[in-house]
Amino acid sequence: MKAAFFIAFRYLFAKKSHRIIHVISLISLLSVVVCTGALFIILSIFNGLQNYVSHNFNTFHADIEITPKKGKTFVLSDKVLQNIHDIEGVDYVSEVLTDVAVFAYKDRQFIGKIKGVAPDYYRLKRLDTMVYAGSFLLASGPMHAAILGSGVASRLNCAVSSMFNNSLSVYYPNRHKKTNLANPTQNINIRRITPYGFFVSGTEYDASYVFVPIAFARDLMQYTNQITSLEIAVDPKASVKASIGKIKEVLGPDFYVKDAYQQEEDLYKVMQAEKTAIYLILTFILLVASFNIIGMIAILVLDKQKDINVLYSLGAPNAFVKRVFMLEGMMITFTGAIIGLMIGGIFCWLQTTFHLIHFGDGSYMLNYYPVKIYVRDIVFILLTVMIISFPATYIPVVKISERIFKHSSLR
């Protein structure tokens, strides 16, 4: 094996008798470099985007969310709520009432989601740290306050204030009255609330959500103790999966109990599907590029007929000679893969440090492509390159070299 590797190594750098062999060898190397580097960069960018989205959505979402399988709202008894509170690992529980409402501020209107929560809801995910104007205050004595997403505040051109005359109007259909086309305002409940703060989570919820006290939401929607979901924060040292199992035992089969990932499962599935599609496309390009290796090995075998005869005269078997050219093709591929990974790694470092590629014109929470490198991707890319390059090397060695070996007079 050492002798075959030594000869293959010498062939890799030794001068060829025909210039075309150098050109094809260089093209084969560059094709592997480009495909490997592109694959590494694209996967790292998708990792960065997934990591960014996961971080921001997990910051906004509860560790565990409970919703009904049937109907829009549900009611949990005090005993059931206490049982959930008593589960080991459960750190905080908040009842939530969410629906679509119309918000009006002066001459502007906006359709968004009103989310009624407990006054200490900021404990769930430290949402008070997301407030960039005002503070996370939902109630002060008899006065109710609202925390608006930055996008909602921008659409309404709303300002933070503790004065009642600067209040925000909220419109919601009256569920207990029939539609009166002659006087539609009779079918709408109107409540006023003070915008006390604006939050930024870096997610789509900034453009649609308004937090209010759950008592205000129930009064607006004319509910007594109904909720649309129950959101739970789990102790960082506890297992979310174990807590979900215990909650399911308490609630039974009539409820969905989802972790933070499952609450945005469709989004993550779409991102994973896009990543897989890009990987398959680049892998196909690499497969097409591997034909350069086939041509290079075929020409190299023909060019080294004299060397093959010398090896036969020294007693080398067919398997040894084939191994030399197999190693030659694999060394070119492996060298190209390593160079491609190095170039990709340098690009990722430059992107992380200097933010070379931006999203373009527009208002974004993140205006450049994030990058995240995983060792598993490097291993996966190397395996992919080797799996594709092996048959690309093996086929010409077996098919072409057999004809040469068969007609060799010194065999």
What is the model's pLDDT at position 5?
A: 80
Cβ neighbours around 9 below 10 Å, total: 14
d(CA 72, CA 98): 10
- Name residues whose C-beta falls within 8 Å of residue 21's C-beta, 6 or more positions apart in sequence: 296, 299, 300, 303
- Name residues whose C-beta falls within 8 Å of residue 117's C-beta, 6 or more positions apart in sequence: 94, 95, 96, 138, 211, 212, 213, 214, 231
Q: Are strands 188-199 and 108-117 parallel, antiparallel or unpaired?
A: unpaired
**318-354 helix and 305-313 helix, angle to the nearest 10 degrees:** 130
The vertex-360 CA angle with 359 and 362, nearest 5°, equals 100
Q: Are strands 139-140 and 229-234 parallel, antiparallel or unpaired?
A: unpaired
The vertex-243 CA angle with 242 and 248, nearest 5°, equals 100
CA of residue 289 relative to chain centroid, distance: 29
What is the model's pLDDT at position 112?
A: 97
What is the model's pLDDT at position 2?
A: 77
What is the model's pLDDT at position 16?
A: 59
pLDDT beneath 70: ranges in the chain: 1, 13-19, 162-166, 179-185, 360-365, 400-411
Cβ(67)–Cβ(289) below 8 Å = no
What is the model's pLDDT at position 1?
A: 64
What is the model's pLDDT at position 9?
A: 77
CA of residue 310 relative to chain centroid, distance: 57
Cβ neighbours around 317 below 10 Å, total: 12
Cβ(204)–Cβ(152) below 8 Å = no
The vertex-351 CA angle with 350 and 357, nearest 5°, equals 130
Half-sphere exposure of 35 (CA within 13 A, CB side): 31
Cβ(268)–Cβ(261) below 8 Å = yes
Q: Are strands 168-173 and 139-140 parallel, antiparallel or unpaired?
A: unpaired
Where do we find the tokens 């093209």?
A: 27
d(CA 117, CA 146): 11
**265-303 helix and 375-406 helix, angle to the nearest 10 degrees:** 30
Looking at residue 15, what DSSP letter applies? Answer: P
Q: Which two tokens stand for residue 259?
A: 């972790």
Cβ(146)–Cβ(212) below 8 Å = yes
- For the chain, the first-to-last Cα distance in angstroms comes to 20
3-state secondary structure of 65: strand
Cβ(144)–Cβ(195) below 8 Å = no
Q: Which two tokens stand for residue 129?
A: 């740290």
Q: Where does 178-307 show beta strands of DSSP type E? A: 188-199, 209-213, 229-234, 255-259
Cβ(231)–Cβ(93) below 8 Å = yes
What is the model's pLDDT at position 277?
A: 94
Residue of 16, 18, 24, 25 whose CA lies nearest to 332: 25
For the whole model, what pTM was predicted?
Answer: 0.78
90: left (phi over 0), alpha (psi -120 to 50) or beta: beta
Using CA of residue 123, residue 210, residue 264, residue 272, what is the dihedral sign?
A: negative
- Name residues whose C-beta falls within 8 Å of residue 241's C-beta, 6 or more positions apart in sequence: 259
3-state secondary structure of 93: strand
Q: Which two tokens stand for residue 401?
A: 């070299």
